Chains A and B, each alone.
Chain A
């Protein structure tokens, strides 16, 4: 794997192995210094760069089946919707890694990108980031907390990529090894349901899995070429590819 040769970092998520435990969600929050929710936050206003949705097969009891779908920024490669609408150039596609980067200091907070994102994978900071007293001592020193009024999202733990590059450089290498760069979610997954790597590297596990017949991408017909693939042996699960299943949870206010 060579970061210099324009990598295309991506993921394959095995939906048959995901138990919906949520370890990826909290590991992501710890790694990226995402604060706990204030009391008034809810499913619409909370910040979860990685969110696991429970999606049902649409059948009634007792024929109901469920699948847990981990959902984060799908790192769209082509006509990336959030990039095309940002008036501030606060979203950029890093040609070298294929990662869609969010630059909080440029963000104006207009939330146009949130409207444009077909995956509902962008989050707005409605509140100042606050940790209970003393808990700020547990923050990750490699990531700066974002301020109120800006949008944020998954960046495949970009800080870890930089750390891996620095480590490789210190050892006189340009290439980074696959095990040196893993996002917090794939690192934390107890069933290894999240496989991460360079899709451009034909020898990589992620590239091999992405080309298997059980693999699919969400809302592929939009043509935005997301770099997150999903996999399942269950035929009905493939139907979720064309569903906007995140919308009810993200856009509905209950109660």
Chain B
């Protein structure tokens, strides 16, 4: 045998390497290594168990969509809409589809917390319930001795359980029950204009031919997602000339604007002048409904609507609104020609809402098919005068007068923190947030009372925003409440007891209260019930007892009224004489502030957020906010590319926004749809709302914005520069 030479060894080694490379082995090794490094035991295993279907009602907002719940064992794993549901039409919004994740949200609060702010982060100290009650009882005592107030702010005041809250707060010394601003301000304004007290009003959009919408998120959470979806579907089936026309008036090219037939981009804060311009043309060209002439204050010697709108000719309002006089005139004529026409508004001040309500009156849409219709009220069971005391709005509570402020989590999401802070009497005043999750403004509170979240407690849902008929549904608990969580009513009862207030004999549990209302509804013999499970509609006369009605509702059903309230007579300025003067003052103030820019702040900063952008949302909503550009996370700034170039900004790069209140870092995106010299910044959720650290204090653009007395953020003079 020849001696193995060095050369032969090298040749063999080289040949082996080449052979190995041409064999399937490297490929197999690479493949196996990839798989070994991918498959780990900690990859979650889906739950196993019996699959059942249950029915419920969504309580995440006022829409009250019907929900079909697919459960594995006792855990909901999927929420879908209930087909043929008369209110939600089988649809649900994204937040509702993932509502069953909320009990497991990383920011979930399951025991009372004391919060302190330290170097930009929020330190959390768990408390025992007794410790919390003792601390708060002391604060109530201090409020009593100092003559300051204890205020509870309710974000969803139309629930029955709110009556219980009101009763309990009224029983406390210096207790005040307050509510957050109404989402449908136009409807609220129409109520104040009616001759007699009336229930809430709804919009008969299904029969309207023209809708002129001022900032309401019509396709973005307004009413129920299914109702708007149904209208869009129906429109596709009719000829182009017969279709409903939607005109959207808003500075921002929102989703509602994108889905409308026409977008009218008014200058920031000038919507009210555009509406007054429309009213002026209607009066000048006598395009109003004939019955309007009979309205007492239409053209009275004293208070006169005609006189009120006389100065707002299209030529006068055109420079303020940025819309040409010709366009204002043409839009008005189109509105008057394509009737029934209805005017809808989003969250806005009472005065702005009154102008839109007056437009509805002028167009003759009040009490008419395709217009504004009054809903019948549900039967009341609380007749005691104290129980029915009028709720105050947050604007009616004097600044510096509150020692203990208790805020419901939906109110905490709706009212700017600057407004709440101004109400506090001193630095020693205390803010308590009743919340299920430690997100958003809840972090600004001194104490957090952990409350049940969606699917954990019994809740009632009343008529959705803008609905024509009254409705009532009940959400029953499907998930066990974690130990340590306190029902808000129970918290208020304990608070009253800790403060030494004797319990009122009429105070009952939320379930008893709901059952009493359902019993009153049963005895009224009004309406019918749609049963989710079998899609049947049962007339209330066919229901044998109030217990049966209760069972239908808690097992998945909705009661719906069958008729609306007769039309009320309205006045342009209502019965309160001061309304006229108030409106004149408001308009004068708006004239002064419209288009105002102060030195060094050449831009108009407008914060925006969509429905569902605030409060608790499922971590899976990262799909919309973080993993795609569909919705904007907090502090994302949208600017016109031309304006951006003027300020040397780069698309996608960070920048610093400054106002007179301070500075904040934002993430800039250029957007052709943005009005030049306007800066839109999202006040939507930040990363903490999904699944990340809850300790950091959130920086939100709302803190840099100015607010008016109605707790609404206004266009704020601002500047921006590259970070």
Contact (Cβ within 8 A) A147 B43: yes
Which residues in window 175-208 of A have CB below 8 A to B? 187-192
A41 to B47, CA, bound (A): 26
Partner pick for A66 among B78, B253, B654, B674, CB 8 A cutoff: B253
Contact (Cβ within 8 A) A145 B46: yes
Contact (Cβ within 8 A) A190 B75: no
A130 to B654, CA, bound (A): 29
Q: Is B675 an interface residue (CB 8 A)?
A: yes
Task: Quote the shortest CB–CB distance from B325 to chain A (angstroms).
Answer: 16
Q: Which residue in chain B gives the minimum CB-CB distance to A125?
A: B38
Task: Quote the shortest CB–CB distance from A148 to chain B (angstroms).
Answer: 5
Task: Quote the shortest CB–CB distance from A124 to chain B (angstroms).
Answer: 12
Q: Is A36 an interface residue (CB 8 A)?
A: yes
- Contact flags A128-143 to B (C-beta < 8 A → 1, else 0): 1111111111111111
Contact (Cβ within 8 A) A135 B687: no
A56 to B641, CA, bound (A): 14
Contact (Cβ within 8 A) B94 A149: no
Contact (Cβ within 8 A) A147 B38: yes
Which residues in window 131-178 of A have CB below 8 A to B? 131-145, 147-150
Which A residues are CB-close (under 8 A) to B640? 60-61
Q: Is B469 an interface residue (CB 8 A)?
A: no
Task: Quote the shortest CB–CB distance from B84 to chain A (angstroms).
Answer: 13
A252 to B652, CA, bound (A): 9
Q: Is A11 an interface residue (CB 8 A)?
A: no
Q: Is A26 an interface residue (CB 8 A)?
A: yes
Task: Quote the shortest CB–CB distance from B1 to chain A (angstroms).
Answer: 43
Which B residues are CB-close (under 8 A) to A137? 47, 75, 77, 104
Contact (Cβ within 8 A) A14 B236: yes
Which B residues are CB-close (under 8 A) to A133? 104, 106
A132 to B80, CA, bound (A): 22
Q: Is B258 an interface residue (CB 8 A)?
A: yes
Which A residues are CB-close (under 8 A) to B618? 26, 36
Q: Is A222 an interface residue (CB 8 A)?
A: no
Q: Is B103 an interface residue (CB 8 A)?
A: yes
Contact (Cβ within 8 A) B34 A36: no
Task: Quote the shortest CB–CB distance from A132 to chain B (angstroms).
Answer: 5
A14 to B667, CA, bound (A): 32
Q: Is chain A's interface secondary structure helix, strand, loop, or mixed overall?
A: loop
Q: Is B173 an interface residue (CB 8 A)?
A: no
Task: Quote the shortest CB–CB distance from A197 to chain B (angstroms).
Answer: 17
Which A residues are CB-close (under 8 A) to B520? none
Which residues in window 646-680 of B have CB below 8 A to A? 651-654, 667, 669, 672-676
Partner pick for B44 among A21, A26, A129, A249, CB 8 A cutoff: A129
Contact (Cβ within 8 A) A48 B672: no
Q: Is B139 an interface residue (CB 8 A)?
A: no
Q: Is B225 an interface residue (CB 8 A)?
A: yes
Which residues in window 161-220 of B have CB below 8 A to A? 219-220
Contact (Cβ within 8 A) A188 B630: no
A23 to B611, CA, bound (A): 13
Contact (Cβ within 8 A) A138 B628: no
Task: Quote the shortest CB–CB distance from A21 to chain B (angstroms).
Answer: 6
Q: Which residue in chain A gives the minimum CB-CB distance to B98?
A: A26
Given contacts A26-B98, A26-B623, A48-B627, contact A192 B229 (CB under 8 A): yes
Contact (Cβ within 8 A) B628 A46: yes
Contact (Cβ within 8 A) A37 B622: yes
Contact (Cβ within 8 A) B225 A138: no
Contact (Cβ within 8 A) A136 B626: no
Contact (Cβ within 8 A) B631 A22: yes
Contact (Cβ within 8 A) A145 B619: no
Partner pick for A27 among B37, B46, B97, B103, CB 8 A cutoff: B97
Which residues in window 76-104 of B have CB below 8 A to A? 76-78, 80-81, 89, 91-94, 97-98, 100-101, 103-104
Which A residues are CB-close (under 8 A) to B34? 108-109, 149
Contact (Cβ within 8 A) B621 A26: yes
Q: Is B691 an interface residue (CB 8 A)?
A: yes
Which A residues are CB-close (under 8 A) to B93? 21, 23, 190
Q: Which residue in chain B gives the minimum CB-CB distance to A134?
A: B104
Contact (Cβ within 8 A) A29 B620: yes
Task: Quote the shortest CB–CB distance from B18 to chain A (angstroms).
Answer: 21
Task: Quote the shortest CB–CB distance from B219 to chain A (angstroms).
Answer: 4
Q: Is A43 an interface residue (CB 8 A)?
A: yes
Q: Which residue in chain B gives the minimum CB-CB distance to A233?
A: B240
Contact (Cβ within 8 A) B97 A26: yes
Q: Which residue in chain B gives the minimum CB-CB distance to A37?
A: B622
Q: Is A9 an interface residue (CB 8 A)?
A: no
Which B residues are CB-close (under 8 A) to A19? 219-220, 228-229, 232, 255, 259
Contact (Cβ within 8 A) A135 B619: yes
Which A residues are CB-close (under 8 A) to B675? 61-62
Q: Which residue in chain B gives the minimum CB-CB distance to A44?
A: B627
- Contact flags B41-53 to A (C-beta < 8 A → 1, else 0): 0111111110100
Contact (Cβ within 8 A) B48 A141: yes
Q: Identify which of B49, B219, B226, B624 gathers the most chain A CB atoms within 10 Å of its CB.
A: B624
Q: Which residue in chain A gives the minimum CB-CB distance to B652?
A: A254
Contact (Cβ within 8 A) A188 B80: yes
A75 to B75, CA, bound (A): 34
Q: Is B30 an interface residue (CB 8 A)?
A: yes
Contact (Cβ within 8 A) A23 B691: no
Q: Is A81 an interface residue (CB 8 A)?
A: no
Task: Quote the shortest CB–CB distance from A100 to chain B (angstroms).
Answer: 22
Q: Is A83 an interface residue (CB 8 A)?
A: no
Contact (Cβ within 8 A) B43 A128: yes
Q: Is A30 an interface residue (CB 8 A)?
A: yes
Partner pick for A254 among B101, B106, B667, CB 8 A cutoff: B667
Contact (Cβ within 8 A) B622 A36: yes
Which B residues are CB-close (under 8 A) to A25? 94, 623-624, 628, 630
Given contacts A132-B619, A133-B106, contact A145 B92 (CB under 8 A): no
Q: Is B302 an interface residue (CB 8 A)?
A: no
Task: Quote the shortest CB–CB distance from A52 to chain B (angstroms).
Answer: 5
Q: Which residue in chain B gives the minimum CB-CB distance to A130?
A: B44
A52 to B258, CA, bound (A): 14
Q: Identify which of B42, B44, B93, B225 gathers the most chain A CB atoms within 10 Å of its CB.
A: B44
Q: Which residue in chain A gives the minimum CB-CB distance to B227?
A: A190
Given contacts A22-B631, A61-B640, A147-B39, contact A132 B76 (CB under 8 A): no
Which A residues are CB-close (under 8 A) to B229? 17, 19, 189-192
Q: Which residue in chain A gives the minimum CB-CB distance to B30?
A: A108
A133 to B104, CA, bound (A): 7
Contact (Cβ within 8 A) A129 B687: no
Q: Is B583 an interface residue (CB 8 A)?
A: no
Q: Is B22 an interface residue (CB 8 A)?
A: no
Q: Is A115 an interface residue (CB 8 A)?
A: no
A62 to B323, CA, bound (A): 11
Partner pick for B676 among A27, A34, A61, CB 8 A cutoff: A61
Which A residues are CB-close (under 8 A) to B78? 30-31, 140
Which B residues are CB-close (under 8 A) to A255? 652-654, 667
Which residues in window 26-73 of B have CB below 8 A to A? 30-31, 34-35, 37-40, 42-49, 51, 72
Partner pick for A46 among B47, B104, B622, B642, CB 8 A cutoff: B622
A31 to B46, CA, bound (A): 12
Task: Quote the shortest CB–CB distance from B228 to chain A (angstroms).
Answer: 8
Task: Quote the shortest CB–CB distance from A114 to chain B (angstroms).
Answer: 16
Q: Is A4 an interface residue (CB 8 A)?
A: no
Given contacts A37-B690, A51-B628, contact A131 B48 (CB under 8 A): no
Q: Identify which of A37, A133, A142, A144 gathers the most chain B CB atoms within 10 Å of its CB.
A: A37
A129 to B46, CA, bound (A): 12
Q: Is B386 an interface residue (CB 8 A)?
A: no
A98 to B651, CA, bound (A): 41
14 more A-B residue pairs beyond the given contacts A27-B80, A138-B101, with a C-beta to C-beta distance below 8 A:
A17-B229, A22-B631, A23-B94, A33-B46, A37-B623, A62-B675, A135-B104, A136-B45, A139-B44, A139-B77, A141-B46, A145-B46, A148-B38, A190-B89
A-B interface, 6 closest residue pairs, ranked by CB to CB distance from nearest: A46-B627, A254-B652, A190-B91, A134-B104, A191-B229, A64-B673
Sampled A-B contacts (8; CB under 8 Å): A16-B236, A29-B623, A43-B628, A48-B623, A61-B676, A138-B100, A190-B91, A190-B92
